Amino acid sequence: MPKTNPEMWLHKYGDYLYSYAISRLKLPELAEDVLQETFLSAMKSKDNFKEKSNEKTWLTSILKRKIIDLYRKKYKNIETSMDAKSMFVQDKFMYGSWNAEDAPQDWGVAQGEDWIGDEEFIKVLDKCILNLPDKWRFVFMMKHQEEASNSSINKKLGVSESNIWTILHRARLQLRECIESLWFKTLS
């Protein structure tokens, strides 16, 4: 019989699990709902907990599945689209030539310059990630934060591997544009 103590879960793991959820969902209401569903699910299955891992790991794995289920349910049938003409000159699309007004700016990053540790840059980056369409944000976060493989993303979200590349490409383009408008224009 497992020695799990549900009465202590919120006290012991609530802050950690909420931080985990909010870092992936970005919306406090969604994070709270998913966390509540996690605890309810854990309560229902507590007798099946075999203590092969610790409670925190077990609860985190339930939370991960709840987040994935949320996105799978919400975005199962959504198709993302983007007009390639708005980014590339139509007759040079196959060569990847940028339309002059849509080309990414040269960021002029000096050798060794590091914005990743800059608190203001992190706020801008978080805001830009939050502004991604939900499906793009979730694929981007899985790929870059959780370092999930494309096949893992495919299994969890039901998104084809070729569509994952498309979503990541579009998400990166939108992130770059957002960072350029929110970060670099403030530095000028």
Instruction: Give the model's pLDDT for residue 26.
Output: 79
| Residue pLDDT, tens place only, 23-53 | 888 788 888 999 999 999 999 988 888 777 7
The three-class DSSP label of residue 2 is coil
Q: Which of 75, 104, 123 is the last residue of a domain?
A: 75
Instruction: Give the model's pLDDT for residue 141.
Output: 87
Instruction: Give the model's pLDDT for residue 106.
Output: 57
Largest CA distance in the chain: 68
Q: What is the CATH number of the domain that holds 64?
A: 1.10.1740
User: Domain total for the chain?
Assistant: 2
Q: Does 1 reside within a domain?
A: no
Q: Which of 21, 43, 75 is the last residue of a domain?
A: 75
User: HEC states along 116-169?
Assistant: CCCHHHHHHHHHHHHCCCHHHHHHHHHHHCCCCCHHHHHHHHCCCHHHHHHHHH
- Are 23 and 31 within 8 A, CB to CB? no
Q: Does 90 reside within a domain?
A: yes
Rounded average pLDDT per 10-residue block, the chain, 188 residues:
72 91 85 92 85 85 87 56 35 44 55 57 83 89 84 86 86 86 66
Q: Which of 75, 102, 118 is the last residue of a domain?
A: 75
In the chain, the DSSP E strands lie at: none
